Amino acid sequence: MAALLNAFAGLPNAAEPVTGWITGGQPTEQQLKAFKAAGGQVVVDNRDPMEPREFDEPATVRAAGLEYISLPIAHGAVTTDTMKQMHQTLKRLEGKKALLHCSSGNRTAAALIPYLMADKRMEQDDAVDLAMSIGLRSAELMDIAVEYANGLS
């Protein structure tokens, strides 16, 4: 799977916390093409569609032959329902090669916590530590993700 991660050289907070899933910040057009060439299948964009970008990401992703999923995690507007939507999306992505990103990796890393706890059976502290190691910086997002994950059990 190193080829997937190698497609994102230079991507902020690029990591592969779950085999086949790359997380991180905003990719470039070239990184998206390299991801497809490395066997990538799906891009989950956690940025709000109104956030500024250097290029038309949905069009670029689709033109590369990748599936594009927009699931915004908007600063200050995240609820446990947002986490539920992301968790359900992640469960559907099992076995697929995916890129999960926001602008820096912070929001995406937080949204991975419920999946890590509920589906990968990680302890809360381990899931939070992993999320922090791949870009989580927001205590608020962490709390919402953990609250949602704890409600699953």
In this prediction, residue 8 carries a pLDDT of: 96
pLDDT tens for residues 40-68?
Answer: 999 999 999 999 999 999 999 999 999 99
Q: Does domain 2-152 have CATH number 3.90.190.10?
A: yes
Q: Kindly state the percentage of the chain with pLDDT values over 90.
A: 92
- In angstroms, the CA 90 to CA 19 distance is 13
- How high is the pLDDT of residue 74? 85
State the Cα–Cα distance between residues 67 and 100, nearest whole angstrom.
12
Q: Show the tokens assigned to 110.
A: 């937080």
In this predicted structure, the answer to whether residue 27 has a pLDDT above a threshold of 70 is: yes
**Sequence spans of domains, the chain:** 2-152
Name the one residue in this structure whose structure tokens are 């190691």.
133
> What pTM was estimated for this model as a whole?
0.95
Q: Whose structure tokens read 């989950």?
A: 44
Q: Which pLDDT score is estimated for 153? A: 67
- SS3 assignment for 39-93: CCCEEEECCCCCCCCCCCHHHHHHHCCCEEEECCCCCCCCCHHHHHHHHHHHHHH
Cα 38 to its chain centre, rounded Å, is 18
pLDDT in tens, 136-149: 999 999 999 999 99
Amino acid 40 reads: G
Distance of CA 150 to the CA centre of its chain: 20
Looking at the predicted structure, is the pLDDT value of residue 71 above 70? yes
